[in-house]
Amino acid sequence: MTQRRFRVLLLAGYLGLFLATAVAMTQFVAAINQHIGSDYTAAASNIVRGQHEAAKLRHATERYLANPGPALRDRILRTFNTIESREGTTRNSFDLLGLDTGTRETVVAEFERVIALLPRARELSRQALDDPAAREEFREVAMEVENSLAFVYSSLHRQTHAASAAQQRLTTWLAWAVIALGGLLLVIIAALLWAVDAVFGKNKALKRLSLTDVLTDLPNRRGLLQRVEQTLAQHRRNGRPVSLALLDLDHFKIVNDHEGHPKGDAVLQHIAGEIAQSVRATDMLARLGGEEFGLLMPETGEEGAYHLCERIRQRIEEMELPMTSEVKNLTLSVGVTTVTVDAETSFEPLYVAADRALYEAKRQGRNHTVAQT
């Protein structure tokens, strides 16, 4: 996997995670606000209805005592039934609103008193229809029920507003905390992804350094060996020839002796650049060490490899060194070998054959190109 593709995948993964986190946090905040809002809306609705029943009880009682009749009596009884039917939801409101201990004890006691008075209030409402003596007691009991209900629901109403506001503040802080934690998580993940990418880049750089000659920026012996093995594997599949040349500068020691090692390094860099300009894009030029270079020529026969190396030799022979004062030019000895279409070989035999050809070029007086199979 290339570093570019790896970075694209990291970025895509991070953006996907960022979007998923943003959506999740948004839904969480919306859901919790909606949930809390619905809870307090339900509680407020119960309280409003309870207050309305207390007002209805007062109004119906006054009318009934002023003009007793079965219709008003039945209306009062229905009101009592409604109050009793809301006992469960009212008790739930005590828990939902989180009343403090003192308020809860007082409100619960008043509500228990209402529930306890309802049977007596029903009985007195029936007696008051025909018994004028029972009407005054009914008034007192009905007013006690109404006053206790009014107290209970007024207390719950105040607590609803206070608890709702406190819960909304808590929800806001919680939402910001979730957002902050989500943001922190994304920052940590981004840092980890950056670290992974940095490690990946450093590993790639280290691998490149392990395969590259520092002075000339050409592949080194290891890099050439790796490429030769790949090329020979391809050669075994397609049967096309492969050539390897060893190029060695003649009498290079005089450059270091007369010009100094820094100038010698500059000469090596310059000659490496000249040779690199002479080879083809499919070829691979490498520095094997000192003043020796290797040239791999895939899909190149003996004749083509020889002519290419001879052109390189002539170019170096005719080239003047611009960075030296005493040594004006250098020559090059080249040994070339070719793997034939029916041969099975590896790097070492190929290298040995090219080295023998280079030795022969040196033996012939240097500044020669010798080809051997």
Q: Are strands 369-372 and 332-339 parallel, antiparallel or unpaired?
A: parallel
The one catalytic residue in 62, 291, 317, 360 is 291
What is the mean pLDDT of the segment spanning 133-149?
A: 83
State the number of CA atoms in the 13 A half-sphere of 27 facing the CB: 6
Q: Which of 38-47, 126-135, 179-188, 356-365 has the lowest mean pLDDT?
A: 38-47
Q: What percent of the chain has pLDDT over 90?
A: 32
Under 8 Å between Cβ of 297 and 243: yes
pLDDT tens-digit readout, 156-179: 767 666 666 666 776 677 677 777
* One-letter amino acid of 146: E
Cα–Cα distance between 242 and 232 in angstroms, integer?
7
Q: Which of 17-21, 105-109, 240-244 has the lowest mean pLDDT?
A: 17-21
Give the global pTM: 0.51
For the question of residue 291 being annotated catalytic, the response is yes
pLDDT tens-digit readout, 243-271: 999 999 999 999 998 889 999 999 999 99
Question: How far from each other are the two terminal CA atoms of the chain, in whole angstroms?
Answer: 38
Cα–Cα distance between 227 and 211 in angstroms, integer?
10
Whether pLDDT at 38 is above 50: no
Classify 244 as helix, strand or coil: strand
Distance of CA 272 to the CA centre of its chain: 45
Q: Please, what is the Cα angle at 204 between 201 and 210, to 5 degrees?
A: 140
Residue 4's alpha-carbon distances to 1, 10, 210, 345, in angstroms, are 8, 10, 21, 36
**And the tokens for 274?**
């000249």
In the DSSP assignment, the letter for residue 47 is H
Which domains are seen in the chain, by residue range? Answer: 3-190 (1.20.1420), 221-372 (3.30.70.270)
Among residues 125, 156, 159, the alpha carbon closest in space to that of 140 is found at 125
pLDDT tens-digit readout, 336-367: 999 886 666 788 889 999 999 999 999 999 99
Cα–Cα distance between 52 and 73 in angstroms, integer?
18
Which residues have a Cβ under 8 Å from the Cβ of 144 and sit 6 or more positions away?
Answer: 113, 117
pLDDT tens-digit readout, 39-84: 555 555 565 566 677 777 778 888 888 888 888 888 888 888 887 7
Residue-level length of the chain = 373
Residue 337's alpha-carbon distances to 78, 316, 347, in angstroms, are 114, 21, 12
Under 8 Å between Cβ of 338 and 305: yes
